[in-house]
Amino acid sequence: MNQTIYHSKMNKELKFQNLCNLTTSVLGLHKGSLAEKSRRQELQVPRAVASVIALTEDEVSHTQIGKVIKRDRSLIYHYAKMHQSNYATFPRYRETFNKIYNAYSNFKEDKNTFFDLAQLKDYLVEYDIVDSVKHQTTVRITSGRVVAEVKLSYKDFYNQLEMIKLALQNFQYETEIITL
């Protein structure tokens, strides 16, 4: 029996998208502006800062970051390489980095994790997220040190996955999709 595991790239892309939204909100820019083609400094600096934070804090890949901000992944490597120098010598970059990093740290601390498997399972049941009778796919949910698996049929998969995202939006979590 073959088993395929898909680590949900959507989670990390979604995390980075949320970081971009937080960045634009904190700096008073309009939502989605980090993905604009503009090379203006008021967009370039926050774009670089958000990229570096995503690389270091959430281990988002260069490719995923590039996809969200509509840039080539090689630019993300450049952002990472230049971070130390920019932070040391470029006051606007340093101030922006500190502001966004602090806001993001506070945002992450506000998110909860589950303490045990029973607590997570009970919470999922409250949102009608339960195992399917005939399952072909498993969604593994990790929150803190707790790991739960929800067995789903192909028919239920999309709706249940959306319910999981909705139910856990205020929690730190990651998902893996496993097909049998």
Class for domain 9-110, per CATH?
Answer: mainly alpha
Residue 43, CA distances (Å) to 107, 144, 150, 180 in order: 22, 34, 41, 44
| Winning range, highest mean pLDDT, from 9-23, 58-72, 98-112 | 58-72
pLDDT reported for residue 1: 44
Are the C-beta atoms of residues 34 and 47 closer than 8 Å to each other? yes
DSSP one-letter string for 2-57: --EEEE-HHHHHHHHHHHHHHHHHHHTPPTTGGGSS---HHHHHHHHHHHHHHHHH
Q: For residue 148, which amino acid is it?
A: A
Give the model confidence (pLDDT) of 41-63 as tens digits: 999 999 999 999 999 988 899 99
Question: Mean pLDDT over all residues of the chain?
Answer: 88
| H or E element in which residue 174 lies | strand 174-179
Whether the model clears a pTM of 0.85, i.e. scores above it, the answer is no
Place of tokens 């707790």: 146
Can you give the residue ranges of every domain in the chain? 9-110, 113-179
Q: What is the largest CA-CA distance in the chain?
A: 60
Q: Is the pLDDT of residue 166 over 90?
A: no
